[in-house]
Chains A and B, each alone.
Chain A
Amino acid sequence: MALPEPILEMRDVTVRFDEKIVLDRINLRLGPGELVMVVGPSGSGKTTLLRAVNRLNEEYPGSATHGLVRVRLGGHWLDCYAENFPLTDLRLRVGMVFQNPNVLPFSIQKNLTLPLCVALGMSKVEAAQRVQRALEDVWLWEEVKDRLRHSALTLSGGQQQRLCLARVLALDPAILLLDEPTASLDFKATRKIEALFQSLKERYAILAVTHSLSQMRRLADRVLILRGGHLVSELSRAEFQNQANCLEIMEEFF
């Protein structure tokens, strides 16, 4: 069976910070509607891999990226590292959720409308219309609809993380990058967010980093194992679903 055309492709991607090589010749394909998880020990370059897609590594001094990263948006392939590439557009279409819920110290409503007004140039009225849909997408509307003007910091950790996800979804992305989005949450909040990702999988291509092997087994369609900046293995769902097999592989690579 021929693989569907991917929506994100990385070819021989190497990322350095000053002289240190953090990612070494990474090759990766992400298909539409696919949830690929990247696992690996701390410092193996997982976060850098995600940030190589939306070029967030460049926010740090001394970073250099080589190789090809391209995304297929609206039927066209775009080379993310091409000169004069519209970086803002890329980051709008490739949304990112961070490890810690980083809500802005503003109201719930403003957390959602600010990026719409600033990055997309929407009017306040247009932006407000998107708020409900985004909150419904993350199952937060019923919980916060009466207190949209309250500070986002009054929400629980799990709610804050869902708000962060809503903020990204409101921008209408095609690809989601999730950097250990449940790392700082308790069991119940984690389960809720995992269920949410299950439901979002059909609409977005998702590249996620996780530390939790059980989460990986619950959610991933495919797993990439990173170690010391190298992609050392790729597992299909059948391979990591088998518990004994999975443990064996993990023992070997961690």
Chain B
Amino acid sequence: MTATQKHSLADTATTAFCWSAAALTGVAVLAVMGFLIFRGAGTLGLELFFGQTPWWDALTGARPVFDGLWSALAGTLILVVLSCLMAVPVGIAGGVYLSVYASRRYQSMTGFAVDLMAGIPSIVMGLFGFSMIVVLRHALFPHAKTCLLLAAVCIALLILPYLVRTTQNALSGLPEHLRLLGPSLGFSTWQNTRHVLLPSAGRGILSGVILAMGRAAEDTAVILLTGVVAQAFLPRSLWDKFEALPFRIYYLAAEHRSVAELDQAFGAALVLLMLTGALFCLAFLIQRTMEHRWKK
């Protein structure tokens, strides 16, 4: 075999491998979604969310929902929003710091810490939250208990490293001439970051936010130890126990007593998928709107 033939064989093999890997990913995603829709679509309806309670009463909180997903859906939504409110600004600021301000030495030290944090299993993060409450009960607040706020804080810690890393990478990935442009026009470091770098890196940062949101919505191990319960109504405050979709799915799948309950688990999984999809769209829209405003 000549060298040219070898090269073209290697080319064909690489192309075929990449194609099949991409196709396999697509098939896997479609298979999961297809299966969820096949098993769960039938359950979709007002009853899945609100049980026997009239939907208007449930939404206004006039009457509690007993066997619908409403409390779990609201719980997860509040959890994701709360944890993102805490983690997104801090994560982006951390990424900006590491990419723009930090010295090389500090960059590698902190970068290592961030990677380490990203590697923490979520159950360990849950244990951390749980022990925090134990310590607080003994030291400061004897009435402290696991709750929505604690879960949100722990989830925020869990997703923080993704946000820091993606922001840092999005900024560091910008071409050199763009990074030098602001300073060459007399911008201060912050002005350059605010007006040139962040708008240019917007899409990269968005992908980090989406990743973080998905992680916040699906995590079960953290909330298991920090305040989720199988049966609760809408949380009345940040100090209340709450329900969440991933935990509801787990609970129904593990302990269902009838086929109808198992179907409800599939319905819940489908709802979780739709919820995260909707959140992604929202993040996408916010980013686009900001980009549009910047570009004017």
Chain A residues within 8 Å of B, Cβ to Cβ: 54, 56, 59, 61-62, 88-89, 91-92, 95-96, 98-100, 102, 104-107, 110, 114-115, 118-120, 149, 151, 167-168, 171
Contacts and interface: CB of A to CB of B under 8 A. Distances in A.
A56 B186 contact: no
Given A61-B103, A106-B295, A119-B191, A91 B200 contact: no
Given A89-B186, A104-B200, A115-B186, 7 more contacts: A91-B186, A98-B181, A102-B178, A106-B295, A106-B296, A110-B296, A115-B185
23 contacts: A54-B184, A56-B183, A59-B180, A88-B186, A88-B187, A89-B186, A91-B185, A91-B186, A98-B180, A98-B181, A104-B181, A105-B200, A105-B295, A106-B199, A106-B294, A110-B295, A110-B296, A114-B195, A115-B187, A119-B185, A119-B187, A167-B185, A171-B185
Nearest to A115: B185
A105 B183 CA distance: 17
B145 interface: no
Contacts of A115: 185-187
Contacts, number: 65
B39 interface: no
B257 interface: no
A56 B181 CA distance: 10
A118 B177 contact: no
B191 A118 contact: yes
| Centre residue among B184, B191, B195 by max chain A CB count within 10 A | B184
Tell me if B's interface is mostly helix, strand, loop or mixed: helix
Contacts of A95: 184
B184 A56 contact: yes
A168 B182 CA distance: 11
Nearest to A104: B196
Contact of B104 (A61, A92, A110, A151): A61
B261 to A, nearest CB: 52
A113 B175 CA distance: 22
Contacts of A88: 186-188
A95 B175 CA distance: 20
Contacts of B199: 105-106
B215 interface: no
A123 to B, nearest CB: 16
Contacts of B178: 102, 104
